[in-house]
Amino acid sequence: MTKLKGKVIWITGASSGIGEALTYELAKRGNKLILSSRRKEELERVKGNCPAQAQADIRTLPLDLSKPDTLQLSAEAAIQLFGHVDVLVNNGGISQRSLAKDTILDVDRRVMEVDYFGQIALTKNLIPHFIKRKQGHYVTITSITGKVGTPYRTGYSAAKHALHGFFDALRAELWNESPAIYVTLVCPGWIRTNVSINALVGDGSKNEKMDPTTAAGLPPEVLAKKMVRAIEAKKNEVYIAGMKETTAVYLKRLFPNLLARIIRKAQVR
């Protein structure tokens, strides 16, 4: 319970879902938290739901990941709030629920802008800070679809795969700057959040439906507890998912042709 105590942890996408659950878990552990998303009122709601004794060490910092040119100022503001940042949790993002043939290119661009370019913009803006302090920790929430592409997720899966490539390479680069700068990739499976309701469909509108697989997924509170353990253990990569999703990762590695046949018929929505 003490490994992260007192650390300054910046969480994007903190106004709902995984980010909200992670906020509550970390608030119980004596962390200094910076909560970010587009919706300030929702950030304040999440802060208000934290234990009263923890709220003095929680700050809200609204930002928009779809506007990467503004994120340098966001990083500077985050550092000023507590004097430094120990951990950045890249969690904000949007999903997709449409076939490639039915999806306009603007949807792919929007998903990539938020889920990839927004994340790496924040990350790059903190690199000088981490190098100067010779320590830091990037925690990036990708997805099992960042390892295994499925139908109805072409743009989303592409963005999550891109995050793996970027952060695997960054981990190697930063080790040469300081072995105390860590990169952890967290790959959830189906998690019981509103991600499918807010997902984009082919014309760019919201899906407005809860996937049965999402509704039957792990509670976000369970994911948050396991994420904290992975962060404390400084794992390079962790899969937090049900048996089906986790098995798919290993099938992709060992028996890719078999997985390709299975994925064709997978019920993913």
- Measured distance CA(192)–CA(18) in Å, rounded: 9
Which H/E stretch holds residue 136?
A: strand 136-141
Where do the structural domains in the chain lie, given as residue ranges? Answer: 8-264
pLDDT (tens digit, 9 = 90+) per residue, 251-263? 999 999 999 999 9
pTM of the model as a whole:
0.95
Burial class (CB in 10 A: 0-12, 13-18, 19+), 268: middle
The two structure tokens encoding residue 13:
């996408």
The two structure tokens encoding residue 43:
């950030």
| pLDDT on residue 267 | 79
130 pLDDT higher than 90: yes
- 6 vs 170, more confident: 170
242 pLDDT higher than 50: yes
Tell me the catalytic residues: 156
pLDDT band at 265 (very low <50, low <70, confident <90, very high): confident
| pLDDT on residue 4 | 87
Question: What is the average pLDDT across 168-194?
Answer: 96
Question: What is the average pLDDT across 21-30?
Answer: 94
68 pLDDT higher than 50: yes
| pLDDT on residue 1 | 44
| pLDDT on residue 214 | 92
pLDDT (tens digit, 9 = 90+) per residue, 83-105? 999 999 999 999 999 999 999 99
| pLDDT on residue 2 | 52
CATH fold for the domain made of 8-264: Rossmann fold (3.40.50)
Angle between helices 256-264 and 243-254 (to 10 degrees): 130
pLDDT over 70 percentage in the chain: 99
pLDDT band at 266 (very low <50, low <70, confident <90, very high): confident
